[in-house]
Amino acid sequence: MSQQIDHVFDENRRFVPSEEFAANAIAGPELYDEAAADREAFWAKQSRELIDWHKPFTNVLDWSNPPFAKWFDDGELNVAYNCLDRHVEAGRGDRVAFHFEGEPGDTRTITYAQLTEEVKRVANVLTDLGVGRGDRVAIYLPMIPEAVASLLAVARLGAAHSVVFGGFSADSLRSRIDDAGAKVVITADGGYRKGKATSLKPAVDQALADRGDGEQATVQNVLVVKRTGQDVDWNDERDIWWHDAVATASAEHEAEAFPSENPLFILYTSGTTGKPKGILHTSGGYLTQAAFTHRSVFDLRPESDVFWCTADIGWVTGHSYSVYGPLANGATQVLYEGTPEYPEPGRWWDIIEKYGVTIFYTAPTAVRSFMKQGREIPQKRDLSSIRLLGSVGEPINPEAWMWFREVIGAGDVPIVDTWWQTETGAIMISPLPGVTETKPGSAQVAMPGIAIDVVDEKGEPVGDGAGGLLVVTEPWPSMLRGIWGDPDRFVDTYWKMFADKGYYFAGDGARKDEDGDIWLLGRVDDVMNVSGHRLSTTEIESALVAHEATAEAAVVGANDETTGQAVVAFVILKESFLKQHGPEGLAQDLRTWVGAQIGPIARPRDVFIVNELPKTRSGKIMRRLLRDVAEGREVGDTQTLADTMVMSAITKQVK
Ligand code: WTA
């Protein structure tokens, strides 16, 4: 079957960087030339400039056994030293590393000197618990400063962390602990979310309990942060209070150097079926690309910027752009524990105003939920400190991009739409803010030093103006080094499709426009085949979001007797529109609208107006479940949903 994807939706708006921004930008156009001249030399130079190597590397890339890459192989470094001590040693210890804001409103200001000291103490505690190089530590915490300190303390010891998102169940936690063979779990009594104290420790107790199958958990100790003060069950032999152990631990700790390819972390992605995949990242290459992309894509000025990435630390975005990239660069950040709606919808904008956030990095799903609530809410706050906006996690529809720019960015700040994955470790495709003429909805160009193409099923480039499969054609420093404990699955999942070419296939569809700029089209599994036309979900969704009534849309292909598959759309309306007009007749209007915007081929057979869409805990729409509804089936496995009630509500609305 052809893997070409038809292009149906045009977007012609263009935004050149302001002269002022371009003149002062951290990253200039010469980066592309340097990288094109010699990719490996380019990365070696970035690494030497951005990272302190205890033992300098001489080898850059070892690709003698693809797809198992080694970067900067003979070099040695300590990742935590690079994120902490070296800033203090250089006299920047008083700089704020984090403005922490808890959901109830408690705040803490943490300098680089303070964070360094805390991490040294935690490293000493972990050493006493027997954690050392090569061990694994599971981290199951809310978004509090102790989470950042935990990651760094584990990294400091040359052990690997496996962060499990706090919203996951005891079973998910146990399977991840087992798979990684974790020795210690770091958790908290609970955290604050939506105005309530939620609990974490009971899930750890349950995860570690004897299941009567003769398999003991590998965990020997549980280190517990007191966050909410709620009652917890206690196992004296196993459990240790963070505040007891860390307070009495020594604040002296020398960072030891570890080889560049020493594992840094495992992060589980759910995958579509079966056992979660433990994506493995290592040290030197990962840190190099995280730091380089953070600095150049966000135009970071560490002395004056306040950077806020809203992602939870349980996701890769939180790893690379709340911890490793920004801290390696000595940035000042905001860390917020809770949800955007508590105590009321404007909380994020209050935080931006309060801390003078200059660079704001979030997900399209958040932007669309703000569009739904209406622009009056952010417009009541002073957001004038913002000078750059970033987006990650899903394609951002052109209309959401425009809203983001106009309402949050005062109509004149650059937006960087950054494409990457847990597997890629760091940003791969993005505009450079002082260089690229941006197009709403396009992630645009491969980063300097990154080789991307859009190909057909044989691996041949589709060329400008056509759609197909997004591939990475050359190894990159922060690439995943494997799936934990399963090298065959690593090869099968990512490298088999284009084995003869040696391309990494990412699972995403994309299109190159006439200028060669890249537009992400969603997962290729979600591509619809309507009367022989292969249509992406993204373009039809973007057309729906371009209607004044719509805040968010998801489309799926449902079996259809005449067309093979038919387009079925699920749409969330803007609250302001609902107040003025109500939903009557809107489904028909939206069908006609899409027909006019794109053409009859893409006109949805059905449009359902709904209040919510099914999303994963990291905010991605789960179209598989909507397909079940559209085809009248029993809805499939909803375990990975953030809110399992959403599907019954949608099923009811559809009926
Ligand atoms: C999607 C998140 C379009 C894509 C960093 C990818 C995007 C998956 C974008 C990885 C973007 C991420 N435009 N799609 N800017 N960024 N995606 O592993 O489908 O949570 O494969 O990593 O998110 O999600 P993950």
The residue with tokens 């007009």 is 581
Residue stretches of the annotated binding site for ATP = 393-395, 417-422, 508, 523, 534
Q: What pLDDT digit, counting tens, does each position of 242-285 carry?
A: 999 999 999 999 999 999 999 999 999 975 456 789 999 999 99
Rounded distance between C-alpha atoms, residue 96 and residue 112, angstroms: 6
Report the candidate in 433, 403, 400, 399 with the shortest Cα–Cα distance to residue 416.
433
For position 365, what pLDDT does the model report?
94
For position 459, what pLDDT does the model report?
97
For position 271, what pLDDT does the model report?
56
Judge whether 624 and 638 are in contact, CB under 8 Å: no
Distance 122 CA to ligand 1 centre (A): 33
Q: Which residues pair with 467 in a beta bridge?
A: 5, 511
For position 203, what pLDDT does the model report?
97
Atom of ligand 1 nearest to the CA of 443: 15
User: Which parts of the chain register pLDDT below 70?
Assistant: 1-2, 271-274
Judge whether 355 and 183 are in contact, CB under 8 Å: no
For position 274, what pLDDT does the model report?
63
Atom of ligand 1 nearest to the CA of 418: 15
Distance 394 CA to ligand 1 centre (A): 5
- How long is the chain? 655
Protein residues with CB under 6 Å of any ligand 1 atom = 269, 315-317, 392-395, 417-422, 443, 506-508, 520, 523, 618
For position 215, what pLDDT does the model report?
84
Rounded distance between C-alpha atoms, residue 101 and residue 555, angstroms: 37
Judge whether 308 and 333 are in contact, CB under 8 Å: yes
Report the candidate in 556, 554, 535 with the shortest Cα–Cα distance to residue 545.
554
Instruction: Write phi, then psi, for 185 (nearest 5 degrees).
Output: -115, 135
For position 347, what pLDDT does the model report?
97
Judge whether 391 and 364 are in contact, CB under 8 Å: yes
At 383, list the tokens.
């957001």
Q: Are β-strands 482-483 and 504-512 bridged in parallel, bridged antiparallel, or unpaired?
A: unpaired
